[in-house]
C-alpha cells in the first residue's frame, strides 16, 4: 500500500492547494521586499550624497510597507523607481497592451478606423474580423481573446445595446474588471449618457467617432496609461516638513506609543494587551481603539488575535522602529547603523545579540529594537530560532550591506 504525505501529514488535495498558495504568496512578498531594498540600494540621497536606511516589512494580507530615513527628495525618487519597476514587472513598456474590442456588426464601419488607430499606436487588438476565420468556433475564439486581453473596450451605440451577443461580451468584460484581470473602457458612439445601462452609468464613458482625432488620441493614452497629471514636485524648503507620524491616525499613534513604552524587551509578544486594556491606558473610546488597532494591523505594526469574547494584541518589530524615537531615548534606525559599524570594527563574520550587548553596553530592550531595524533594513543576514532568550534576531552574519552601512555611518 502506497501512502502519500505532504508536510508530514496524509495527502489532502484541498490542504495541498491551500499550502501551495500560501507558499507562493509568501515568496511573492519576500520578492517585493527584496526588490524594494534593491531599488533603495541603488540610490543615494541627493541632499546628503549618502545611502539612507530603507526599511521593508510585510503588512497583511499580502502587501509590503517601505519606510526610509532619507530626505523627501530621496523618498520621491525611491517611489518613482519602485513605480517604474512595478510597471515593467507587469509588462509595461516592452509588452504592448492587448485590447478585446466588442461592437455590433452594424457599427463595423466606425469600429474599423478606431481599432486601426490603436494598432498603429502600439496596441494589439482582438477584432473579430481579424481573428475569426471560416469554420472557427466563435465562442472558443472569443474566450481566447477575452482571456488574453489587458483592456476590454466596448463600442456602445443604440444598435449595440440591443444585441444580446454584445451584452454577453459586456458581462464577460465586466467580470474580468471585477477580478482585476483587465480594465474596462466603454465608448459611446452616437449614444447619450442618459441612455447608458445602469451598470455603466457610474463609469467614465467617452464619446468617440472614427474622425474625432482628439478622442482617438485620448483613447490611446488611456490604454497606455499615460496620465495628463503633471509630475509631483518637491515642497519648497520653507514649508515645514510633515511629522514622521503624520500619516497615522491619532488613535493609532496613541496605541503605538503606549505599546512601545510598555514593552520591557521588544521581543515576541511583548507586551500583550487587549482592547479594554488599551482603552484604559490611552483614554481612547472603545470605537477609537478599534479603529486605531485596525490602522496598525494594516500597517504591519501589530498583530491581533480575536475570539468571540476576547482579543489579544501585540507589537511587531516595525512598531519599535516607528514609535521608539517618540517614547525612548534612542532611534532604532541610528542604532542599526551603529550596530553595523560595531560588527565591522570588531572584525568577526558573525555575532550573537549577547556579544553585541557586551560591545555596546545597551539594554536588551534597546538592542532588540536595533535588531528589528537591522532586519527590516537588510543590513545583515539575520536568523531566528524558536524559544531561546526572546531576541528579535538570534544570529547575525556580516554582509556587504553591513559594511556599506558602517561606512555611511
The predicted model gives 111-134 an average pLDDT of 89
Name 191's Cβ contacts closer than 8 Å, sequence gap at least 6.
156, 157, 158, 161, 207
More confident residue, 253 or 93: 253
What CA–CA distance (Å, rounded) separates 128 from 336?
A: 60
The predicted model gives 146-162 an average pLDDT of 92
Categorize the per-residue pLDDT at 51 as very low, low, confident or very high, splitting at 50, 70 and 90: confident
pLDDT for 241: 38
pLDDT for 405 beyond 50: yes
pLDDT for 13: 56
pLDDT for 139: 74
For the chain, give the percent of residues with pLDDT over 90. 48
Which fold is adopted by the domain 329-408? Arc Repressor Mutant, subunit A (1.10.10)
The predicted model gives 11-25 an average pLDDT of 60
The reply to whether the predicted model has a pTM over 0.75 is no
pLDDT for 91: 42
What CA–CA distance (Å, rounded) separates 379 from 393?
A: 12
Categorize the per-residue pLDDT at 235 as very low, low, confident or very high, splitting at 50, 70 and 90: low
For the chain, give the percent of residues with pLDDT over 70. 84
Q: Computed from CA positions of residues 118, 120, 126, 130, in that sequence, does the dihedral angle turn out positive or negative?
A: positive
For domain 98-224, give the CATH number: 3.40.50.10140
pLDDT for 93 beyond 50: no
Categorize the per-residue pLDDT at 11 as very low, low, confident or very high, splitting at 50, 70 and 90: low
Cell 541632499, residue located: 47
Domain boundaries of the chain, sorted by first residue:
18-80, 98-224, 244-316, 329-408
Q: Which of 28-42, 123-137, 255-269 is the most confident on average?
A: 255-269
pLDDT for 239 beyond 50: no
Categorize the per-residue pLDDT at 16 as very low, low, confident or very high, splitting at 50, 70 and 90: low
Categorize the per-residue pLDDT at 232 as very low, low, confident or very high, splitting at 50, 70 and 90: low
Does residue 169 contact residue 155 with C-beta atoms inside 8 Å? no
pLDDT for 76: 79
pLDDT for 358: 94
Does residue 332 contact residue 55 with C-beta atoms inside 8 Å? no
pLDDT for 84: 62
pLDDT for 255: 96
Rg of the chain over Cα atoms, rounded to whole angstroms, equals 28
Categorize the per-residue pLDDT at 237 as very low, low, confident or very high, splitting at 50, 70 and 90: very low
The predicted model gives 126-135 an average pLDDT of 81
Categorize the per-residue pLDDT at 236 as very low, low, confident or very high, splitting at 50, 70 and 90: low
The predicted model gives 54-80 an average pLDDT of 78
Categorize the per-residue pLDDT at 85 as very low, low, confident or very high, splitting at 50, 70 and 90: low
Report the mean per-residue pLDDT for the chain.
Answer: 83
pLDDT for 22: 66
Give the distance from CA 271 to its chain's centroid: 28
pLDDT for 17: 57
| Tens-digit pLDDT profile for residues 167-215 | 888 888 888 887 778 899 999 999 998 888 887 877 889 999 999 999 9
pLDDT for 1: 46
Q: Do domains 98-224 and 329-408 have the same CATH topology?
A: no
pLDDT for 60: 75
Does residue 274 contact residue 293 with C-beta atoms inside 8 Å? no
Which fold is adopted by the domain 244-316? Arc Repressor Mutant, subunit A (1.10.10)
3-state SS of the chain is CCCCEECCEECCHHHHHHHHHHHHHHHHHHHHHHHHHHHHHCCCCCCCCCCCCEEEEEECCCEEEEEECCCHHHHHHHHHHHHHHHHHHCCCCCCCCEEEEECCHHHHHHHHHHHHHHHHCCCEEECHHHHCCCCCCHHHHHHHHHHHCCEEEEEECCCHHHCHHHHHHHHHHHHHHHHCCCEEEEEECCCCHHHCCHHHHCCCCCECCCCCHHHHHHHHHHHHCCCCCCCCCCCCCCCCCCCCCCCCCHHHHHHHHHHHHHCCCCCCCCCCECHHHHHHHHCCCHHHHHHHHHHHHHCCCEEEEECCCCEEEEECHHHHHHHHHHHCCCCHHHHHHHHHHHHHHHCCCEECHHHHHHHHCCCHHHHHHHHHHHHHHCCCEEECCCCCCCCCCCEEECCHHHHHHHHHC
Amino acid at each position: 500500500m502506497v501512502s502519500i504525505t505532504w508536510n508530514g501529514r496524509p495527502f489532502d488535495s484541498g490542504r495541498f492547494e491551500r499550502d501551495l498558495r500560501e507558499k507562493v504568496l509568501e515568496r511573492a512578498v519576500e520578492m517585493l521586499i527584496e526588490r524594494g531594498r534593491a531599488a533603495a540600494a541603488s540610490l543615494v540621497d541627493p541632499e546628503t550624497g549618502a545611502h539612507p536606511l530603507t526599511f521593508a516589512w510585510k503588512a497583511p494580507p499580502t502587501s509590503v510597507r517601505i519606510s526610509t530615513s532619507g530626505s523627501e527628495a530621496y523618498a520621491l525618487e525611491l517611489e518613482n523607481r519602485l513605480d517604474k519597476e512595478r510597471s515593467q514587472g507587469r509588462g509595461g513598456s516592452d509588452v504592448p497592451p492587448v485590447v478585446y474590442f466588442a461592437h455590433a456588426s452594424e457599427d463595423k464601419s466606425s469600429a474599423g478606423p478606431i481599432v486601426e488607430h490603436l494598432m498603429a499606436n502600439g496596441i494589439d487588438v482582438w477584432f473579430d474580423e481579424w481573428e475569426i476565420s471560416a469554420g472557427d468556433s466563435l465562442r472558443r475564439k472569443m474566450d481566447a481573446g477575452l482571456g488574453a486581453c489587458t483592456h476590454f473596450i466596448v463600442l456602445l451605440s443604440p444598435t449595440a445595446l440591443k444585441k444580446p451577443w454584445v451584452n454577453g461580451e459586456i458581462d464577460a468584460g465586466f467580470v474580468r474588471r471585477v477580478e482585476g484581470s483587465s480594465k474596462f473602457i466603454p465608448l459611446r458612439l452616437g449614444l447619450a449618457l442618459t441612455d447608458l445601462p445602469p451598470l455603466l452609468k457610474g463609469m467614465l464613458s467617452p464619446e468617440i467617432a472614427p474622425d474625432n482625432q482628439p478622442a482617438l488620441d485620448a483613447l490611446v493614452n488611456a490604454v497606455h496609461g499615460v496620465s495628463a497629471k503633471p509630475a509631483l514636485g518637491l515642497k519648497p524648503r520653507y514649508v515645514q516638513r510633515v511629522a514622521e507620524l503624520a500619516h497615522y491616525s491619532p488613535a493609532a499613534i496613541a496605541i503605538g506609543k503606549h505599546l512601545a513604552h510598555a514593552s520591557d524587551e521588544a521581543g515576541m509578544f511583548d507586551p500583550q494587551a487587549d482592547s479594554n486594556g488599551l482603552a484604559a491606558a490611552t483614554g481612547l473610546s472603545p470605537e477609537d481603539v478599534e479603529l486605531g488597532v485596525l490602522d496598525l494591523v494594516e500597517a504591519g505594526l501589530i498583530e491581533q488575535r480575536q475570539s468571540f469574547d476576547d482579543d489579544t494584541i501585540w507589537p511587531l518589530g516595525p512598531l519599535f522602529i516607528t514609535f521608539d524615537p517618540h517614547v525612548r531615548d534612542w532611534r532604532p534606525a541610528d542604532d542599526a547603523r551603529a550596530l553595523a559599524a560595531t560588527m565591522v570594527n570588531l572584525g568577526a563574520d558573525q555575532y550573537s545579540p549577547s556579544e553585541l550587548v557586551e560591545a555596546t553596553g545597551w539594554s536588551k530592550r534597546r538592542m532588540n529594537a536595533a535588531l528589528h531595524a537591522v532586519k527590516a533594513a537588510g543590513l545583515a543576514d539575520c536568523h531566528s530560532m524558536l524559544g531561546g532568550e526572546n531576541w528579535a534576531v538570534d544570529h547575525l552574519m556580516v554582509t556587504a550591506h553591513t559594511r556599506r552601512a558602517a561606512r555611511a555611518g
